[in-house]
Amino acid sequence: MSSNEQLYEKISKSVAQHEQDLADICKKIHENPEFNYKEFKAHDNICDLMHRLGYNVKRSAYGIQTSFEVESGQNGKLIVFNAEYDALPGLGHACGHNLIATSSIAAFIATAETIRSLNIPGRVRLLGTPAEEGGGGKVHLIKAGAYEGVDACLMAHPTGKLSPQGEKNIDGVSAARSSARRQMKVAFTGQNAHAGNTPWHGKNALDAVVSSYVNISLLRQQIQPTERIHGVIRNGGTEPNIIPDSTNLEYYLRAAGADQIKELTGRVEACFKAGAIATGCEVKCSCESDQDYMELRPNLSMSNEFTKHMQAFGRDYIGDANQPPMGASTDMGKSTTSSTLSSTNILRQRHILRPRHSSHVRRRNTRPYDSAPYTQVCRSSWNKRSV
């Protein structure tokens, strides 16, 4: 038996030993969906589990009430497993963050136990990263110093079926790229008036919204295939017989990178300004920097290591980083644009046909798997001067 095979066996036994704990924590998170920075049950359940397993747990880490930190090992490089556990309003865990958390917990436990028993130098950390769904949790954690001194971080994200019907099955993507994203909030201010008696005295803020919405719909024909513009009307007025004097929109802009987002922002703002001019309203566009999600740039060295180790388990992963980015975005992208931190976000198929963020997916509580390759990636990274 080769050294790799021995290590695989040791890691697999570690995961199997904790399988019931992992299944329980996955189920608890799935059955109790919590939103941005309100993930109190998930935080407490994970921290209680890690404490029961004998680890020192730092609750409410880095000034964020629902973050946590657990670390094991000594000397050598420090590698982090990010654990997400927030949910989506109205959809629960349609994005599978219960699986992300459980995969990272499993990988951390298996890695910690293996390096301890084999006396392998290196440190591993489990970091609770709340509020990925629009809250910019990792952005705040980076600002708070959570990734200082960290050499690399890893995370796995479930996805839907990747292979076309009838073609060879693909189990996942090890060099996943995602789009940059900007959140834009828009407020129109007009003048209310009685819609029946004196509508000519009004400046219709709802008309400004409608005009802007149409402008953006027309703009979509001229944007790049890697760009997306999508939004909702948060407030369109109060009563049918009152000309609305205040309306609000919220939009997401997505593009391949930060430079493209900047250019797209200017074009979209022009659509809102045109709506304001046409209706005589005033407009205010705001973008919060904490909500800017940078593009995800995978670390090819770690991605290739993961692909290689997955092959040993009979699983086929795509490791080509030249593929176009996904239309989706993540706050983990901020960590991959850091000059000092290497990151990889693995996409793993969860063997369902529906896409993420759907009502079908929220009812699924799929069993996480494949923690051994993550541990092997850690081991390879510890043994290399550069990751």
Q: Tell me the two tokens of residue 310.
A: 């997955």
| Single-letter code of the amino acid located at 151 | D
Answer with the one of 250, 270, 291 that is the final residue of a domain.
Answer: 291
200 lies in the same domain as 212: yes
Number of neighbours of residue 80 by Cβ within 10 angstroms? 27
Whole-angstrom CA distances from 103 to 113, 156, 226 are 15, 7, 30
41 lies in the same domain as 147: yes
Q: Say yes or no to pLDDT of 245 above 50.
A: yes
- Residue 329 in domain: yes
- Residue 72 in domain: yes
| pLDDT at res. 293 | 86
3-state secondary structure 319-371: CCCCCCCECCCCCCHHHHCCCCCEEEEEEEECCCCCCCCCCCHHHCCCCCCCC
317 lies in the same domain as 351: yes
- Residue 387 in domain: no
166 lies in the same domain as 248: no
CATH number at 128 reads: 3.40.630.10
- What is this structure's pTM? 0.82
13 lies in the same domain as 115: yes
Condensed to tens digits (0 to 9), the pLDDT of residues 103-115 reads 999 999 999 999 9
How many domains is the chain built from?
2
Residue 362 binned pLDDT confidence (cut-offs 50, 70, 90): very low
CATH number at 263 reads: 3.30.70.360
For residues 182-193, one letter each, b for 16 or more C-beta atoms within 10 angstroms of the residue's C-beta and e for the rest, the string is: bbbbbbbebebb
Strands (E), 30-170: 57-59, 68-74, 78-83, 122-128, 152-159
Residues of the domain holding 28: 3-178+295-382
- Chain mean position to CA 181: 11
Condensed to tens digits (0 to 9), the pLDDT of residues 39-70 reads 999 999 999 999 999 999 999 999 999 999 99
Condensed to tens digits (0 to 9), the pLDDT of residues 306-355 reads 888 888 888 888 877 677 788 888 878 776 655 455 556 666 665 433 34
- Residue 353 in domain: yes
Instruction: Tell me the average pLDDT of the chain.
Output: 86
